[in-house]
A and B are shown apart, each in its own frame.
Chain A
Amino acid sequence: MLFASMLIKLASQSSNTNIWLDILEFVVAFLSFFGFVLTSAIILILAERKIMAYMQDRVGPVHTGPWGLLQTVADVGKLLMKEDVHVGQADKTLFILAPSVFLGPVIAAFAVLPLSPYVGIPGTALATGIVYYVAMSSIDVVGVIMAGWSSNNKYSLIGGLRSAAQMISYELPLVLALVGVIMLTSILANSGLGTIAVRDIMTFQATSAYPGKGLGLFDFIFQGFTPWAWFFLQQPLMLIIYYICGLAETNRPPFDLPEAESELVAGYLTEYSGMRWGLFYLGEYGNMTIVSAIAAFLFLGGFSGPGVAFLTGLNNGGWGLLGNLLAVGYFVIKVYLLCFVFIWVRSTLPRLRADQLMQFAWLILIPVTLFNIVVTALIYLVMNALGSPNWLFQIVLGIVNFAMLVGFIYIVGRATTATTRRAQAPAIRAQRRASAAGQLPERAGAGVVGGGQK
């Protein structure tokens, strides 16, 4: 499907005005994206089970297909064939609608993401790229609340309300973390106008200056692929904060309170079964993909990689196609590397408590992101006043931001220990007072208790 999409794009480039070809291009691109989200979800589910199994000294699924590769396919097949169960007294309309409301925006959010220079819905040209993505990811919460409310179940209700609070709180630091990157684009653009289109932000991470310019091999590797200019080197703290917020947005551990198994059974999913449940599940993994994809575009240079820009720049059909395939490959590798961190985090960390979650967002993440915006602006103003070039500014910004990253880790560690120490203080004080009475007094007639020692 992806390949077909590329071919059509190629065709429409050569013959530029054909409305039917445009429509066909759109349909095929849309289908390929739809397929990408669902396939990616299925692959991620399997990957998660396998990777977590490896980390936990298990083998994971092995029986379905070679090495258990068909496990998720079999699971989806089972879910499709299950009876569609409704809860009595549930709000039926909302109950049925909720999974679609959850999954729809996830797929829609992909509209702003190009997969390669050729493959992309026309929406990739949308000037409001990031804002659109943020808007779409906020609509998810409506589906969760609908599910929680309509299930007529107290666990679901608590789960739905928790997720509402959580997703709305983490939206703010998520956007604020992206503001740093957008500021960078406006600084780097000589016109002074930045961009919030995903594709354009990616191009800002490729500098025209690279070693060995003009030599064939160096051109092939470094044209459009300059990892030292990627924004994660200049804003590493923002990448990490964006990633933390992404964890919270997708309800992944350690922020999976809405579906906290040990407390809320399954949260808003409790009453769902069959494919409706499956849609929520696919939506969650689709969300994971898109959070990782946005991070890849904004911080890790998108689909750029050795050979992409060079091959597509040759204006030759066959080489262009190869370049596009390479681009898709690099993009998928970057996305799945980030998804791997999701899985890694899940198998390592316990879950936060609801109030700690809120504290973390409002008292730590939002001030830090705001501080970063101020710092970025200040450094630019100072450097600009001194008349230094952009590359020097970028280096200074990177150094400052790495220092902030170290500080952030220190603050988080201190904040948690300080909170726990405060919580423990009365207990410890009481113990110190009572430590004189540490030993139980020997009772008379102790032989009766535990009489085995006679």
Chain B
Amino acid sequence: MVTKQPVGSGIPGASSDTSEGIKSQEMLLNMGPQHPSTHGVLRLVLTLEGETVTDCTPVIGYLHRGIEKILENRPIMGGIRYMDNADYLSPMLNETAYAGAVEQLMGLEPPRRAQYIRLLTNELQRIASHLVAIGTYGLDLGAFTPVLWAFRDREGILSLFEALGGSRFNVNYLRVGGVLHDFPAGWLKQCEAFLDQLEKNMMELDRLLTGNEIFESRTQGVGYIDQQQAIAYGLTGPILRASGVNWDLRVNRPYMAYREVAVNPQIRQEGDCFARYMVRMLEITESIRLCRIAIDKMPGGPIGTRTPIALRPPRGETYFALESSKGELGVYFISDGGEYPWRAKLRGPSFVNLQILPEMVRGHKMSDTVAILGSIDIVLGEVDR
């Protein structure tokens, strides 16, 4: 809960007199851009009264690479590769959003097999992204083991992607109208074996973190957002669902194969850091279930529609959004009928979700700043773009 603190004037560096006549001074602490737990190059200017944070100003832009501008200067197929770098922890989802926007503008419907491959890879990517979120969250709270366990499991997903698209991290696997390759031989078997193993490992991770008294006391009741606030700030993704709002684009605005596969949205009512952590844990389980469904229902047929190499979508504009691991990832796409997008704008969930940070940390202790920032799960590549 945000509590009121007796602060002098609220201006950094202002001094306030306590009742004992001792002069105290606020301290301005520059957290980042080089700091172990700002999840990249985020800079937080904290105003501290003792250990209590009275104000927080996020300063962003240290990882700005002009991805939107680059997209305007690449042929549309070539732009997919640059989408990988926006939210570098979930490239598959970024590519799906970009491909989906172009397809929507062209009125193109990818074949069913391609849609199911996309669903499978998207859910795997969601697991990978949540694993990083949970693992680094443990590290933010001082637990060293979860991060290594999480990265070990994520490694399995990256290996699967490597077998699929030839690249571990920046997969560059999706194409407008379909995907690049079909599965290599035995890939689905590998994937199933991995999911079985992952389920066991997740139970282990759950036992290590979830019931831990220290973990609970560090996260429960910390960084509370109520429903109205969450909606007013435009939050999406696990943060929104942890505040008790039932909103998941896979359910509410189903796209591609999600129209055929039912998703159970994971919702918690508490609205604190622990709820956000729990939503991610539950979503991993849900994603494992979805992956299994996708493998079972995997239809045959082509993996893509034939499109010309130089794509020329018709004149017009569109907005396509999907449920990324962090929230609503939208691509706003304007075409002037040419080979290059006239404008491609990303609606990054990390960027929007980061807005609420100052609201949440005010009145908390300095250690909680890290806990709260970790629970938002931002990726600076997507915040700065």
Give residues in A with beta carbon < 8 Å to B. Answer: 52, 55-58, 154-155, 158, 253-254, 256-257, 260-263, 265, 346-356, 412-413, 416-417, 419-424, 426-428, 430-432, 434-435, 437-440, 446, 448-454
A412 to B214, CA, bound (A): 11
CB proximity of B268 to chain A, nearest CB, Å: 9
**Which of B209, B267, B270, B365 makes the CB contact (< 8 A) with A354?**
B365
- A contact residues around B271 at 8 Å (CB): 427, 431
Task: Of the listed stretches B16-24, B87-95, B139-147, B287-295, name the one at the interface; the rest are far from the partner chain.
Answer: B139-147
B residues in contact with A431, CB < 8 Å: 226-227, 244, 269-271
17 CB contacts below 8 A, A to B, read A56-B148, A262-B141, A262-B142, A263-B369, A349-B142, A351-B143, A417-B216, A423-B221, A426-B1, A427-B270, A427-B272, A432-B269, A440-B246, A449-B253, A451-B320, A452-B255, A452-B256
Bound form: Cα–Cα A123–B356 in Å: 60
Whether B321 and A452, one on each chain, are in contact in the complex, defined by CB atoms closer than 8 angstroms, is yes
Determine whether the beta carbon of B213 is less than 8 Å from that of A450: no
List B contacts of A155 (CB < 8 A): 29
Check if B45 is an interface residue, CB within 8 A of chain A: no
Whether the pair A419, B217 counts as a contact (CB closer than 8 A) is yes
Instruction: Given A57-B152, A434-B227, answer yes or no on A428-B269 (Cβ-Cβ < 8 Å).
Output: yes
Instruction: Please name all residues of chain A whose beta carbon is closer than 8 Å to the beta carbon of B215 when the two chains form the complex.
Output: 350
* Assembly CA distance A57 to B368 (angstroms): 29
Give bound CA distance, A257 to B259, whole Å. 49
**CB neighbors of A among B346-373 (8 A):** 365-370
Residue numbers in B under 8 Å from A450 (CB-CB):
249, 252-253, 255, 319-322, 328, 330
Shortest distance from the beta carbon of B50 to any chain A beta carbon, whole Å? 9
Give the number of A-B contacts (CB < 8 Å).
Answer: 177
Task: Specify which chain A residues have a CB less than 8 angstroms from the CB of B104 in the assembled complex.
Answer: 451-452, 454
Contact of A158 with B51 in the complex, beta carbons under 8 Å: yes
Tell me whether B220 is interfacial, beta carbon within 8 Å.
yes
A58 interface neighbour in B100, B148, B247, Cβ under 8 Å? B148
| B370 x A262 contact (CB < 8 A) | yes
Whether the pair A453, B216 counts as a contact (CB closer than 8 A) is no
A58 → B minimal CB distance (Å): 6
B303 lies within 8 A of chain A by Cβ: no
- Give complex CA distance A416, B217 in Å: 6
A348 near B208: Cβ-Cβ < 8 Å: yes
Look across to chain B and name the residue whose beta carbon is closest to the beta carbon of A52: B144
**Closest chain A residue to B141 by CB distance?**
A350
Task: Considering the complex, give the chain A residue whose CB is closest to the CB of B209.
Answer: A350
- Tell me if B368 and A353 are in contact (CB < 8 A): yes
- Asked whether, in the complex, the Cβ of A437 is within 8 Å of the Cβ of B227, the reply is yes
**In the bound complex, CA of A262 to CA of B32 (Å):** 11
- In the complex, the chain B residue whose C-beta lies closest to that of A261 is B36
**B367 to A263, Cβ gap below 8 A?**
yes
**Contacts known (A434-B244, A450-B255); A56 close to B218, Cβ less than 8 A:** no
Interface residue from B1, B142, B272 paired with A350 (Cβ < 8 Å): B142
The minimal Cβ–Cβ distance linking B349 to chain A, given in whole angstroms, is: 13
Neighbouring B residues of A256 by C-beta, 8 Å: 142
> What separation, in Å, do the CA atoms of A272 and B227 have in the docked complex?
46
Which are the 6 A-B pairs with shortest beta-carbon distances?
A351-B142, A423-B221, A450-B253, A452-B255, A420-B220, A350-B143
A141 to B275, CA, bound (A): 38
Using Cβ atoms and an 8 Å threshold, which residues of chain B touch A454? 104
Knowing A55-B145, A350-B141 are in contact, say whether A446-B253 is a contact too (CB < 8 A).
yes
